[in-house]
Amino acid sequence: MIEIKNVTKTYKSGDLEFQALKGVSFTVEDGEFVAIMGPSGSGKSTLMHILGALDTPTSGTYFLDGKDVSTLTDDELADIRKEKIGFVFQSFNLLPRTTVLRNTMLPLVYAGVSEEERKSRAIKALIAAGMNESHFHHLSNQLSGGQIQRVAISRALVNDPSLILADEPTGNLDTKTGQIVLGTFQKLNKDFGRTIILITHEPDVAEHADRIILFATV
C-alpha cells in the first residue's frame, strides 16, 4: 500500500534550515498495523503530515496504492485525503454540544452525501468503532475521554478509507482507557482489514502494533 523512498523534509526560515526528515525509506503492506515510534524531534509528526497528504517531501517519493503522492497537485492531495485516508488525533477535534451521530456524519456533509446515506454510514462506523447505540444521541461534552476518542475513530472510518493514521491517539487518556482505544484499533485491523499507522513515543503503545518502525532524533 505504502512505499516511502529516501524522503527528506527541510524547513526554511530566512537563511536558517531545519531538516526534519533525512532519507527515510520503508514500506507498509495492505492490512498491516504499524507503529512509528521515536522521541520528540525525531520527525514523526512531519512524516504523519506527508503520509496524510497534508504536506509533500522536499525530496524522495511517496507511493500510496501505486500513485506517486509527492507529485500531486493540491486538489489531487485533497481528493486523496477525502477518499483514502482517515485521521485520528490526540486532541479528538470533535464539535462540542453536537451529538455523537452528527459529529460522525460531518465528513460526509462536506462530501455531498445525502442525509439518509450519511446517517446509515455513520451508524455503521460507530458500531465498528465499538460505540454503544445508547450513546449515539449524547452530546460530545457528555462523554468520557475513551468514548470521545471512539467517536473520533468512527469519524475517521465514515468515508471508508483504506488507511487510518493515528497521531498519539492515547496521549490524552489514562492508561486503562488508552488500552481500550488501542484494542479498538486492533479490532479494526484484524476484523475489518484496515491498514493502520500509529504514531507514538510510548513503547507500551507501540507494542499493540504488528510491527514497529523506530525513529531516532535527526
Q: Of 34, 60, 44, nearest to 208 (Cα)?
A: 34
**Gyration radius of the chain over CA positions:** 17
Which tens digit of pLDDT belongs to each residue from 161-212? 889 999 988 888 888 888 988 998 998 899 888 999 999 988 999 999 999 9
Which tens digit of pLDDT belongs to each residue from 7-51? 999 998 888 888 889 889 999 999 999 999 988 878 888 999 999
CA angle 43–172–162, rounded 5-degree value: 60
Alpha carbons 101 and 85: distance in angstroms, whole number: 20
Whether pLDDT at 213 is above 90? yes
CA angle 195–89–30, rounded 5-degree value: 5
Identify each DSSP E strand in the chain by its residue range.
2-13, 16-28, 33-37, 59-64, 67-68, 85-89, 163-167, 195-200, 211-214
Alpha carbons 95 and 120: distance in angstroms, whole number: 20
Identity of the residue numbered 63:
F
pLDDT of residue 205: 92
174 against 6, higher pLDDT? 6
Q: Of 36, 38, 86, nearest to 208 (Cα)?
A: 36
SS3 12: strand
pTM equals: 0.85
Class of domain 29-59+71-214: alpha beta
Task: Parse the chain into domains and list their residue ranges.
Answer: 29-59+71-214
